[in-house]
Structure 1
Amino acid sequence: MNRDNTSEIPGTPGSDAELPMLTTAQASYLRELAAPYSREGHHHSLFGLGHTCGQAPESHWPELVAAHFAALRRASTGGESAEELLRGTHARLLPLASLTQDLVAGMRYARTVADGLVFAYALDGPTSVRILTDADVERAGPEELGRAAYANLMGVPVTHEEVSVGGRARLHSLHGDSPFVASKALFLSEVARQVTGEPLPRDGALAIVPNRHLLAYHPITDGSVVDALNGLASYALSAHEEGPGQLSPRVYWWSDGALTSLTVIDEDTRTFSLRPPPRLLGLMKGLVRLDRAGRLATPAAAQASETSDLARVAAESTGRLAREPVDPAGLGDAFADVLALGHARCADDPNLANITTWDAWATAVQLGSALFTGAGPQECHLGEDLVTRLPAMAAEPPADARAWLDAVYLAMACRQMDRIHRLCRVPLARLREDDSVDEYVLHWIDTLQTYFSDRSLDEAVPKLVAVMKTSVPEVVAQAPADFVNRIDFHPAALFHRLIAGDHDAFAEALAEALADHRGYWGDSAAPRARVALGPLAMACLAHDHGFPVDPKQPYLPAYLLDRQRIEDIP
């Protein structure tokens, strides 16, 4: 994850602080040309004019300056009626660097909305745009002007395009001739609804406003957020340098109606770095972990590899474990690869009747257990002719809470009680080092460890209650709400019905879990779409406790559920 991506930004050491697009000598020359107009009472920022002049030979500057101030003279200098102000005023983002002391003194209503950005009102005239003063705002009425400025801004036409970053992350680019396009970032969720039909997700979006004609954003939904962050940083820099109408070279996080800068600028070296705040960084880590493990329903997951390709990858990663010493990271990768293969084989073998499907599941059980508890020398089978002899492996449990749950769910489905008990002796403190999961995941692990350690249910129940209290939307900060509600929470809900001994409630909860699994994954080709692993584990546990669980249900391999396929696992 690129947290410190350093590059040059516009300007060089020694350039003018108020006109960074120019050298010190050029800035001095521009002020000299503008001085006569200032004496006429035109106390306007030279920021935009500086960018225009910076793109032209200095021999053309006098005529550019004259034309600039001529346009200002033609522009309205105030006195419009309230109706005229309401009809033409837009909410507007301005670069902080463009505001002079004279302008600020007459705009007490304006406010800083993010690093480098100021919110103001601007009147769109026939030949120019005028920033409103406090007197203008009072004349139109603050509340009425606010509503009108919002409506006028939202009515500004834009061209919407989707841009791919590295073939994975998707950026939404909004651009147009209007100088108010970038200002739509003030109301980004509603803008997203306008151009895509969907509002922004709960976690918001990454956004850039490099110049007044361009707004680009990436909704935060999956692990592609890292690629999007780096892609937006490059996009913002290049578009800001090219202009016209420079606004900000920064990347922002739009969340709950507010913009937070993720770009830290070192004014001495004129460099920038990307530094997400802790909350966003934790969210990004969680999404990357979920995405890499194939748990999220994404467009990339919908284009999953063929089973034959998954089998090749699983065989190769498992084969690498035969060399001593075993690499712990390689063991984790092999576990993930074989688990994906086991799920994928259920597309053609939903009941898990075939030996090749069982081999994948059994090998996943072996590797998942070895990952957290170590193992002696053993053989792994991924087909009749593919047997890998693995050396002894030391217990080096990784700080990966969701991989631990996968290992336990697999052991439960394959009735590996000894492995379950050993997995439940993995120190909870080690799993708590995983900063990519929300607290409810750790409470759920604590509940299972308590239950399978043959301790009293009186000890497990408060921990299950903690799962429920910490999995509500107001508390969950890292996992997507849709994933939590439709996938991740169901095993705990089923366990609640199981320990209560309520057969009917368990059957009802299981049907709901499978319906949510179907709704979440849709027609995705992702391996995890094939089996509802957590509900399967709980259904197997319920079956063994005498619950009347119907084995003929989607996403639950029948021959695992009723134990017909269960064989010894080395």
Structure 2
Amino acid sequence: MKPEDTPDTGLPMLTLAQASHLRALAAPYTRDGRDCPLTNLAYACRNKPEEHWPDLVAAHFARLQQASRGGESAEELLRDVYARLLPVDLLTPELAEAMRYARLVADGLVFAYALDGPTSVRILTDEDVERAGLENLGQAAYANLMRVPVEHEEVSIAGRARLHSLYGDSPFIASKALFLSEVARQTTGEPLPDAGALVVVPNRNLLAYHPIADGSVVDALNGLASYALGTYEDGPGALSPRVYWWHRGDLTSLTIIDHDTRTFSMQPPPHLLGLMKGLVRLDDVGRLATGTAAMYTEVADLTHTTAESIARLADSPAGLGEAFASAVALAHAHCTADPDAAHIDTWDAWATAVQLGSALFTGGKSQECHLGEDLVRQLPDTPAEPPADARAWLDALYLAIVCRQKDRISRLCQIPLATLRQDDSVDEYVLHWIDTLQAYFSERPMDDVVKRLLATIETSMPDAVTHAPKDFVNRIDYQPVALFHRLIAGDHDAFTKTLSEALADHGGYWGESTAPRARIALGLLAMASIAYDYEFPIATKHPYLPTYLLNRERIEEIPSA
């Protein structure tokens, strides 16, 4: 790069020579041109011939002078005030002294009030705020901001992550990020998830956000980081190149900027990082009701995928977890066309899932896996090397319970809880639930089982959950726990009522999703199978509970582990 093309440190959209020229032009209008915010003016000048710059500078400062006259009545201030996000670099010491009410809301962003005048926007001072009243000003600024019209566009990143882009002519659109939950509801009709959203405000006329609801959050983070940086550098009205996490009304910067090297990196806080890990794990195995969870729903595709995964195990035993996840999806998918699990191909899929789940955690000898239509794959000898995958263990146990595999249940319950505790993608309640089931099937004293069950219930409360979406926890993940509570209490009526409510929650959560997990409520089926065997008065016709699995009529021999 030629020396004359080197970007200026303070005004990187201009070269050193251009920035020096602009500061010289601005100097007569201020005591010190280098202390005066010139960012927007620099964006306006950079694409214009330099012979036009004096007129642009004069017009710019004329507008500033007109806007800075002040003296509006309280009524005028309340009528035209807006909440406004400003780049922190805009606040010179003199301006900060006159705006003590302003506050830093996140790295690089300051909250202030602005008056929208006929020709320009003026940032309010402490005198203005005192004249109108801080509380009244805040209410008016919020109401006016919410009325600012926006254009809305949905953008897809890598075919997975969904971004909402809000833009328009108003210089206040990016400031709507302060109240993102209400803005999302106004714009899309949908509230933000409990986990909040990733959001960028690269310039004053634009914000983009991604609701944190599934494993696509990783793609969204990377996509938003590139988008924010590129749009910020384009200007004008540059605000921030950072990616923020909007959560419960607060903005947290995820972007780390090394000012010496001018490099950017993403560093989510531990809470968000744990949430992202949990969502990715839930998404990867199709447990969340999202578009990404329904990638492979056709039985033929899943049969092929499962058969190929098993065939590769002789050379690549590390693929057993992937093969098991595929087999579980296949077992569920068969129940789309065969909801009662009456057909042999459906049973073969469930039996194969049982075999793979048991082998994944407890090892086993070589055995045949049947996948229907005379398709057979050989599962090789498998060592007992249980992975730190708590949710896969629950799937393996639920399948063994449904298929009445007592020996496999016993062996799964001998897996050390310490091994499963190494899974940092799950919330604490999941591990307490595993501990409860292990205690129950190991026939420990009922007092021990109840103590562990209470720990499960306590750690599944909303304030304690940090990794899984609250809706998923409440409507799907916790329901087997609630059923188990009624089961060990021996309360037949309460069990029946809880089962009916849990199945309704399952249907409500999944809606019209075609994901395999939408077909069967696996955890509920496992608890109902135990209750059926204990002669609870359970009807054998329920949605999401295959009749011939629940009543044991489809239970055939599965090769021993």
**What TM-score does the superposition give when structure 1 sets the normalisation length?**
0.95
Are 1:553 and 2:545 an aligned pair? no
Are 1:386 and 2:371 an aligned pair? no
1:365/1:42 Cα in 2 relative to 1: closer, same or farther (>3 Å)?
Answer: closer
- What residue is the counterpart of 1:36 in the other structure? 28
Unaligned runs of 5+ in 1: 1-11
Are 1:55 and 2:35 an aligned pair? no
1:41/1:499 Cα in 2 relative to 1: closer, same or farther (>3 Å)?
Answer: closer
Are 1:460 and 2:452 an aligned pair? no
Q: CA deviation at 1:374?
A: 0.7
Q: Secondary structure at the match of 1:273?
A: strand
1:171–1:218 contact (8 Å) kept in structure 2:
yes
Higher relative contact order (CA 8 A, sep 6+): 1
Matches within 5 A, 1:169-318: 169-301=161-293, 304-318=296-310
For 2:296 and 2:226, how far apart are their aligned partners in 1?
29
Q: In the alignment, residue 119 of structure 1 is paired with which amino acid?
A: F
Equivalent in 321, 324, 327 of residue 317 of structure 2: 327
1:48–1:245 contact (8 Å) kept in structure 2:
yes
Q: Secondary structure at the match of 1:161?
A: strand
Q: Deviations over 1:501-559 (max 9, x none)?
A: 11111111111111111111122211111111001111111111121221111111111
Are 1:421 and 2:410 an aligned pair? yes
Q: In the alignment, residue 468 of structure 2 is paired with which amino acid?
A: A
Q: CA deviation at 1:50?
A: 2.0
Equivalent in 382, 406, 430 of residue 441 of structure 1: 430
Q: CA deviation at 1:40?
A: 11
Q: Secondary structure at the match of 1:474?
A: helix
Q: CA deviation at 1:476?
A: 0.9
Q: Deviations over 1:88-138 (max 9, x none)?
A: 111111111122112111111111111111111111111111111111111
2:284–2:293 contact (8 Å) kept in structure 1:
no
Q: CA deviation at 1:18?
A: 3.4
Q: CA deviation at 1:17?
A: 4.3
- What residue is the counterpart of 1:122 in the other structure? 114
Q: Deviations over 1:218-244 (max 9, x none)?
A: 111111111111111111111111111
1:394/1:138 Cα in 2 relative to 1: closer, same or farther (>3 Å)?
Answer: same
Q: Secondary structure at the match of 1:305?
A: coil
Q: CA deviation at 1:58?
A: 2.9
Q: CA deviation at 1:64?
A: 1.5
Q: Secondary structure at the match of 2:153?
A: strand
Q: Deviations over 1:487-506 (max 9, x none)?
A: 11111111111111111111
1:210–1:250 contact (8 Å) kept in structure 2:
yes
Are 1:368 and 2:360 an aligned pair? no
Q: CA deviation at 1:147?
A: 0.9
Equivalent in 515, 518, 527 of residue 529 of structure 1: 518
For 1:110 and 1:31, how far apart are their aligned partners in 2?
27
For 1:14 and 1:57, how far apart are their aligned partners in 2?
19
For 1:493 and 1:473, how far apart are their aligned partners in 2?
15
For 2:118 and 2:151, how far apart are their aligned partners in 1?
22
Matches within 5 A, 1:101-112: 101-112=93-104
- What residue is the counterpart of 1:3 in the other structure? none
For 2:157 and 2:33, how far apart are their aligned partners in 1?
48
Q: CA deviation at 1:27?
A: 2.6
More deviation, 497-506/459-468: 497-506
Q: In the alignment, residue 544 of structure 1 is paired with which amino acid?
A: D
2:285–2:293 contact (8 Å) kept in structure 1:
no
Q: Secondary structure at the match of 1:515?
A: helix
Q: Secondary structure at the match of 1:347?
A: helix
For 2:360 and 2:510, how far apart are their aligned partners in 1?
28
For 1:41 and 1:445, how far apart are their aligned partners in 2?
66
**What TM-score does the superposition give when structure 2 sets the normalisation length?**
0.96
- What residue is the counterpart of 1:499 in the other structure? 488
For 2:17 and 2:103, how far apart are their aligned partners in 1?
32
Unaligned runs of 5+ in 2: none
Q: Deviations over 1:140-196 (max 9, x none)?
A: 111111111111111111101111111111111000001111011111111111101
Q: In the alignment, residue 154 of structure 2 is paired with which amino acid?
A: E
For 2:336 and 2:93, how far apart are their aligned partners in 1?
68
- What residue is the counterpart of 2:439 in the other structure? 450
- What residue is the counterpart of 1:6 in the other structure? none
1:413/1:41 Cα in 2 relative to 1: closer, same or farther (>3 Å)?
Answer: closer
Q: Deviations over 1:225-269 (max 9, x none)?
A: 111111111111111111111000100000010100000000011
1:174–1:181 contact (8 Å) kept in structure 2:
yes
- What residue is the counterpart of 2:82 in the other structure? 90
Q: In the alignment, residue 272 of structure 2 is paired with which amino acid?
A: L
Q: Deviations over 1:425-478 (max 9, x none)?
A: 111011011111111100000000111112111111000001111111121111
2:402–2:526 contact (8 Å) kept in structure 1:
yes
Equivalent in 473, 480, 498 of residue 469 of structure 2: 480
1:240–1:246 contact (8 Å) kept in structure 2:
yes
2:297–2:333 contact (8 Å) kept in structure 1:
no
2:286–2:294 contact (8 Å) kept in structure 1:
no
For 2:166 and 2:40, how far apart are their aligned partners in 1?
21
Q: Deviations over 1:356-381 (max 9, x none)?
A: 11111001000001001111111111
Q: Deviations over 1:330-372 (max 9, x none)?
A: 1011101111111110111111111111111001000001001
1:209–1:249 contact (8 Å) kept in structure 2:
yes
For 1:503 and 1:105, how far apart are their aligned partners in 2?
70
For 2:441 and 2:9, how far apart are their aligned partners in 1?
65
For 1:388 and 1:568, how far apart are their aligned partners in 2?
17
Q: Secondary structure at the match of 2:104?
A: strand
Equivalent in 36, 49, 60 of residue 68 of structure 1: 60
For 2:339 and 2:138, how far apart are their aligned partners in 1?
58
Q: Secondary structure at the match of 2:513?
A: coil
For 1:282 and 1:531, how far apart are their aligned partners in 2?
28
Q: CA deviation at 1:21?
A: 2.8
Q: CA deviation at 1:25?
A: 3.4
Q: Secondary structure at the match of 2:466?
A: coil
Are 1:344 and 2:333 an aligned pair? yes
For 1:300 and 1:41, how far apart are their aligned partners in 2?
53
How many corresponding residue pairs?
A: 556
1:349/1:42 Cα in 2 relative to 1: closer, same or farther (>3 Å)?
Answer: closer
- What residue is the counterpart of 1:539 in the other structure? 528
1:190/1:80 Cα in 2 relative to 1: closer, same or farther (>3 Å)?
Answer: same
For 1:13 and 1:27, how far apart are their aligned partners in 2?
11
1:114–1:259 contact (8 Å) kept in structure 2:
yes
- What residue is the counterpart of 1:9 in the other structure? none
Are 1:166 and 2:158 an aligned pair? yes
2:257–2:264 contact (8 Å) kept in structure 1:
yes
More deviation, 283-292/297-306: 297-306
Q: Secondary structure at the match of 1:312?
A: helix
Q: Secondary structure at the match of 2:415?
A: coil
1:413–1:536 contact (8 Å) kept in structure 2:
yes
Q: What stretches of structure 1 move > 4 A for 4+ residues in a row? A: 12-17, 39-44
Q: Secondary structure at the match of 1:346?
A: helix
For 1:53 and 1:170, how far apart are their aligned partners in 2?
35
Are 1:567 and 2:538 an aligned pair? no
State the identity as a percent.
71
Q: CA deviation at 1:43?
A: 8.1
Q: In the alignment, residue 546 of structure 1 is paired with which amino acid?
A: E
The CA RMSD over aligned residues, in Å, is 1.8
